[in-house]
């Protein structure tokens, strides 16, 4: 299995397939080692490009998955192509599906009050036997209390769905206090699992137009999505030069 990293605007993205990702995850769990996984899309990488301290946090990940077709295009433009897009949501769904056979447990952190509980209920319906040991919404101030609650449940895998940059900064700050073997920052996955945000139809996903579907469903995302052309223009005109855009 290859574990190469591809430099995309300073983010060292894992050149890995989804099957290899799952193999690495179950390896962490089986060996009792801790692995941190981030799932950056172009918006997150561009934010890191503009905020070097955040980029340093991103690059501490054991796996940095290329979540977003723009990351794939960016790597191709830089002539360092990635194997495939590895969407965080797809990885999390496969974790839930395969966790039963591996005897692994999951904890879901994030979302508005009630959303994580709904995600748990849906996962238990869709994956009989899945062991989701607990949930907590993302609206909290007492980090130590939340960490204590997670550790008391002893999950093997922790989904941290706090949105960027909060989730990456939170994981970086507290990973050593968390007993979970795999900690994955997976943004809106909790909403998709709960069904409060619908994923694009499969045919749009195959056409790499999931972003367009999300824009139609959530027009307020328009200004956030402007980061995609900014990301691509920066890749084209500046590549991986070691200076920041002023």
pLDDT along the chain (246 residues), means of 10: 80 97 98 97 95 98 94 94 95 98 98 97 97 97 95 98 97 98 96 80 55 53 64 86 47
Crossing angle of helices 227-238/69-77, nearest 10°?
10
**Short-list 92, 114, 50, 106, CA closest to 193:** 92
Give the per-residue pLDDT at 230: 86
pLDDT for 14 equals: 97
SS3 210: helix
Please report the pLDDT score of residue 7 as a whole number: 96
Contact 35, 62 (CB under 8 A): yes
Q: How far apart are CA 209 and CA 123, in angstroms?
A: 26
Please, are residues 146 and 109 in contact by the beta-carbon 8 Å criterion?
yes
Three-class secondary structure of residue 115 per DSSP: helix
Domain ranges of the chain: 4-238
Q: Which pLDDT does position 171 carry in this prediction?
A: 98
Gap between the Cα atoms of 69 and 80, Å rounded = 15
Query: For residue 208, is it left (φ>0), alpha (ψ between -120 and 50) or beta?
Result: left
What is the helix (H) or strand (E) element at residue 158, kind and residue range? strand 157-161
State both tokens at 99: 């966790």
pLDDT at residue 204, rounded to an integer: 52
Q: What pLDDT is stored for residue 84 in this prediction?
A: 95
pLDDT at 240 (0 to 100): 73
Predicted structure pTM score: 0.87
Sheet holding 105-110, edge to edge: 63-64, 35-38, 182-185, 157-161, 105-110, 131-136
pLDDT at position 245 is 43
- Give pLDDT, residue 229: 82
- Name the CA radius of gyration of the chain, rounded: 17
């Amino acid at each position: 299995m290859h574990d190469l990293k591809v430099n995309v605007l300073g983010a060292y993205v894992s050149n890995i397939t989804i099957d290899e990702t799952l193999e690495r995850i179950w390896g962490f769990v089986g060996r009792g080692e801790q692995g941190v996984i981030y799932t950056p899309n172009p918006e997150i990488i561009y934010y890191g490009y503009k905020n070097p301290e955040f980029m340093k946090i991103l690059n501490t990940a054991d796996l940095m998955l290329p979540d977003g077709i723009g990351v794939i295009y960016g790597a191709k433009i830089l002539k360092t192509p990635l194997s495939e897009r590895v969407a965080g949501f797809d990885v999390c769904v496969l974790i839930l599906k395969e966790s039963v056979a591996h005897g692994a447990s999951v904890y879901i952190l994030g979302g508005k009050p009630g959303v994580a509980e709904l995600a748990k209920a849906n996962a238990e319906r869709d994956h009989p036997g899945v062991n989701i040991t607990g949930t907590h919404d993302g609206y909290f101030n007492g980090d130590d209390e939340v960490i204590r609650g997670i550790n008391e449940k002893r999950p093997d895998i922790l989904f941290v769905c706090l949105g960027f940059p909060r989730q990456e900064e939170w994981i970086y700050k507290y990973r050593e206090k968390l007993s979970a073997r795999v900690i994955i920052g997976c943004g809106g996955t909790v909403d998709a699992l709960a069904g409060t945000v619908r994923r694009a139809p499969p045919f749009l996903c195959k056409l790499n137009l999931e972003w367009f579907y999300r824009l139609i469903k959530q027009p307020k995302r328009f200004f956030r999505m402007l980061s995609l052309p900014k990301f691509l223009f920066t890749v084209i005109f500046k590549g991986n030069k070691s200076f920041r855009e002023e």
